[in-house]
Chains A and B, each alone.
Chain A
């Protein structure tokens, strides 16, 4: 215990200790490792316009720009272009997990430096990217899904512990929720937004853009109807606030993630938001429970179909949710969930697919289907009986 903690009153320690425990508890960094892999392409897309200009011989200060502060250092042209190229190389290395911490730090420092060169560089998606990169720098997220880990294995050295204190994960969760919350709140308190004026005018004034869509006349009539936007704007605001709050509670988390995906895809289709949609979707992985291999997929290794499913799960299980184990010949496919619930057959496959990042959106509603709910209920009862039977107690 440090001196300050020793001096704190028992009441203060009672509040601070659980907070410290939450931040310091070792959890799996798998989600952040996956986010690191996904963030590399985002950095490249973000850098593309700067690099394209640089290759055409233009940089930011050849035209209007506005420094935040006179003391902010500006480097010579050649070095600036070199930094952009270095950031692109670092982004690739970061995704691959090659010298992970150095690569991530390099990408973060250069992207942030470039952002703060001019107020004109600022966009919300770039701010979010800086936050994500900054938190990836402080999280040891290169110990898996990385060339570094592969090299370590090849050299016969023991793998590094893929778990670490949880505080970067919690901070990233906070930032993720704060972004939806801040956006939703700003619209909620603006009568023009909440009343539908803003969305209605945007649609009406963007008619040329929408003309490219194969929309039937009736759909266009609905979209340009003022009354429609009175309700639609409220839906948008409530959706953002639901995502911001719903992500925090396990009972609403899956729904919030599902809605967030739809929300980002809708934004991407209707507005130019640069890397925001991709980044927003990628960051959702941090809401996965930070533990790995705590579900079991049991397959009959003699059945070709089972082996194929096991292959699918192994390939797409980027968050390392499942252990794949053999079951006796003739068994049905079986999933044992984290709480011991055991389900078999098609419902088991539905549950497995709902826990894989690439198929989650399609399969997340599966656990709501009556057949799957029945199977889970039966599986839970079975798990309860097993847990309390004399055999299991032995």
Chain B
């Protein structure tokens, strides 16, 4: 029995280490300080009437920095280090957009949130991309 347990743990651990090379989230892969990459994003709420409102402005009693307090996402307009790598950081940002879109019931005007992300992978030139939350039902 203990032989099975030991072999299973070793195999699973090695599998998780390998998974770290392609997964955005690298649980138990132990890739420490993987990149010097940095990022910043302009995040806006796109309303039903087409306005693009920066999330730095409070809306319907919500504040972005109170809704999103972890993983260096509270102030996206400031250039940050991507602690666990750029892919990981942007996966969190995308999930945060979705969470905010789904958890702001008093907001009746936002259709979706959009982040225009400028990222610098290590010493590479900057790249610009756009992330969007899912579209909110019943906005406007």
Contact = CB atoms under 8 A, between A and B. Distances in A.
Interface of A: 16, 19-20, 23-24, 63-66, 119-120, 122, 124, 127-128, 131, 165, 167, 170-171, 174-175, 178-179, 182-183, 185-187, 190, 192-193, 197-202, 205, 271
Contact of A64 (B5, B6, B21, B70): B70
Interface in B1-28: 2-3, 5-6, 9-10, 13-14, 17, 20-21, 25, 27-28
Nearest to A202: B36
Nearest to A165: B2
Interface of B: 2-3, 5-6, 9-10, 13-14, 17, 20-21, 25, 27-36, 38, 66-71, 73, 81, 92, 95-96, 99-100, 122-123
B17 A205 contact: no
B34 A190 contact: yes
Contacts of A19: 3
A183 B29 CA distance: 8
Contacts of B25: 119, 122
Given A64-B100, A127-B30, A120 B6 contact: no
Contact of A120 (B31, B38, B92): B92
Most buried by A among B27, B67, B68: B27
A150 to B, nearest CB: 30
Contacts of B99: 64-66
Contacts of B33: 198, 202, 271
A120 B122 contact: no
Contacts of A197: 36, 122-123
A178 B70 contact: no
A23 B5 CA distance: 11
Contact of A23 (B6, B13, B96, B100): B6
Contact of B30 (A63, A124, A199, A201): A124
Contacts of A122: 25, 27
B66 A63 contact: yes
B36 A186 contact: no
A205 B81 contact: yes
Contact of A183 (B6, B21, B32, B122): B32
Given A63-B70, A202-B36, A170 B95 contact: no
A64 B73 contact: yes
Contacts of A66: 92, 95, 99
A24 B2 contact: yes
Contact of A201 (B10, B36, B71, B100): B36
Given A65-B99, A201-B36, A182 B20 contact: yes
